[in-house]
Amino acid sequence: MHQVSYTKRNCTDQNKIETFLLQERTGVLGMISDSLPYAVPVNYVWHNGSIYFHGMGSGKKVSILSKNPPVSFTIYKEHGTVMDPVPCHADTSYMSVMLFGQVAKVTDSEEAAAVLQKLLEKFMPQYYSHPLTSTLIEKYRSGMDGNGVAVYRLTPQDMTAKENAVAANQLFNGEAQ
């Protein structure tokens, strides 16, 4: 794993990173679009060592990824503001993971169905009584644009993780000290 420059914040605990990737719900997908960066928040699932996300089978994200598959993906969680008697030393408690690699569209309907099922289980546990099938995924068409759902996989080539973990009593709670 690539080291972060502020090594005091570097997180190398693989169990903590894995738990974080499994529990968090949204990440920011950073793409290269012509001459400007383009970043969009997406729901994701961490499955078999890869980030998976989905969307409509058309649109800006689909267009960019088809031309420029190198991406970054950032997941972060802020825990609060860290108090300090010196104003310039106030800080933020957080955990973040950045992944870098190439995105590939999932073309296997069995893999796509399995990933979409994982997304449903993560975001709507026990809501649907029947699992998704590859046949449904192949035949599904969005009412918004008539396209099928697109599922993407980012298998990281590099990853960094940072954290500033502090005790809850060190976080600002809205009251002056």
More confident residue, 107 or 146: 107
Per residue in 87-105, pLDDT (tens digit) is: 788 889 999 999 999 999 9
Helix or strand (DSSP H, E) at 57: none
Q: Model's pTM, two decimal places?
A: 0.85
% of the chain residues with pLDDT over 70: 85
Query: Nearest-5° angle of CA 74, CA 19, CA 47?
Result: 70
The CATH H-level superfamily of 7-107+149-167 is Electron Transport, Fmn-binding Protein; Chain A (2.30.110.10)
Q: Give the residue extent of every domain in the chain.
A: 7-107+149-167
Q: Tell me the pLDDT band of 142, cut-offs 50, 70 and 90.
A: very low
